[in-house]
Structure 1
Amino acid sequence: MKITEKKRIRNSEKYMSHINEGGKANIGVAITAEVARKLQEIGFKTLLSGESLVPAPKFGPVSKFNVNGKDVPQKDKPKETVYRQQHWSWTDWGGNSHSRTVDIPYQRYPRKWIPAPWVELMIVQSGENKFVIAGDTITKGQTEETDIVHRINLMLAIFKQAEIFQENLERYEVPRTVKLGWDILPEGEMPWETFKHHLTPVLNSKSKGKKIIIAERLETISKYNPDFHAIGDNGYQGYIIFGFTRENLYIFENAEYGNATYVFEGDWEQLSKMTKAEIIASNIHKHRFVHLDGWKRQIAELFPHHTDKKIS
């Protein structure tokens, strides 16, 4: 996946979502005439495979951190007294020169030292094509997120682009998003053990920790015995609908970590064609439950007459 028109990213999740856990990749750019000129500007001589260097600090904050490391203020801790030196010089009334160095106290937050990553850029070749890559091969789920983000930001700072390649330097074929209609699963009571198999494609792209949390939410709603489920990615991309027609309730639960649960009454199909922004702006949802402590209780209060029985 190619990243352009960004000066810096905060996290790599959406750029790595097409890579399976344990998958290996390289962060870099293909060498074009423009990239080659930039490589020579930062100090590369031959542009032959195997040539490498650590970019100088002069290319901005990211390259400066890459070489020098940095102190990060710990604003969750009380300030402390530290000192800086200052040199004073003066001439007295008699024309005599004097000078001294003094320590001046001031208050600041404690600093945490983050060592320099010291990521090298290296020229590599695959077939007829040359690339410059940042550091060695990364592994999704094992390489630290901060390391991945730093490498991408280093490429963006120097080349104004970055790309995530396969381990063999082939480009990933990232599937295009295709808008599909809702897939209405068979009506009637569907036990969780049966329903969860339909969610495999939805959950497979999530990390292990997020997969557990999302599955637990979906299982919680399923125990109230919806009479239909719908999976789709129309206006409410990523949402799964639990239909409780007897109660005239339709629960829209998102398969993305961190999104809220929406509860509607009425024509769920028409509602599902609206975007989330349209839904929120028109305030037509009956409830909006944020995924925090108390979420399970809020779901339970929708079904006051439900007898809590073990999920089959």
Structure 2
Amino acid sequence: MKFKQNHFRKVPEKLLFSLSQIVSDKVIISTNISISARDITNGKYKKWNINSINDLNDESVINFMPSKREGPSSKINLVGRTTILRDLPKEDKSWNITGPNFGDYSKGTHTSTITKPVFQKEYELPREIHLSIKNIGKEKDSDEIQLKIWIQELLSKSDKLFSDDFLFNLNLLQESTGNCGVISLSQEENDKLIEEKQKGWEFLPIGTGDIRGKILQKIGNKKDISDSSQERIDYFTNPPFEIVGHINGINSFERYIGLELPDGVIILENFNYGNAIYVLKSNWETFSKMTRGELIKQKSSETERVTHNKNWKINLETVLGINHK
């Protein structure tokens, strides 16, 4: 369906009606649109990873992630969101600042730890949902090409988070295409997506797996890696503290790499889009059983968020209780 607005505050009545007509519990967000071969040639759809008409052969499926400039949901999808919980009691928070010795940088610098009560927060991790595109035919006597565009995330109407996820995915598709809809799945598609959804993480004990290789795959094996990214790769490949093993994200969490510490704390890092490290007060057994919805939204009482500023390593180790002399 085509809608005038770019973003919905609530699900449109037409889509609620379409949803009510679907008997099955499992649905996905999908739409069909027409695009012109001329627009493809002029580069209009490069942001969808369509560079030429040849990219749309009969069997190909093109995946892309919307730019954060497409709209509010697209931005959350890429970088996450932080919400201040002003209705909850404040809690003590510590962070580090670096300053000059005796007010003179020529005499060196020192790091000081500041602790003060702050409002609790809820962190929504980047969802990193991809949109998929397939050519489903060409209009007769026209250069218009029919495309099916959908989100390969299975939604269950019986899930307690269904309403939130349904609206989020509708907006993600709407912001990129100006169209959105909802469909049920064939049993074969349903079984395949359920199987893939159940596989989110793999645990790699110390000494198993090529961790650096897995990280490089996550960032696309780029030839030119910035110094800051290289620093993060080195840090997570060989952390300067004891760990039990690495956690490798797969499928919908494929861009994440994690560490588990001996006390059960989990550290998650995203090398592509994440602008922060997340420290979860959990353990592998509990963490691996979390649903996607439970993992995406974490309160600061359960999770610490460490931004990638110049003191990120010291701040991370302060959160972990590692003393610096």
Q: Same fold (TM over 0.5)?
A: no
Q: When the two structures are superposed, what TM-score results if normalisation uses the length of structure 1?
A: 0.43
Bigger Rg, structure 1 or 2: 1
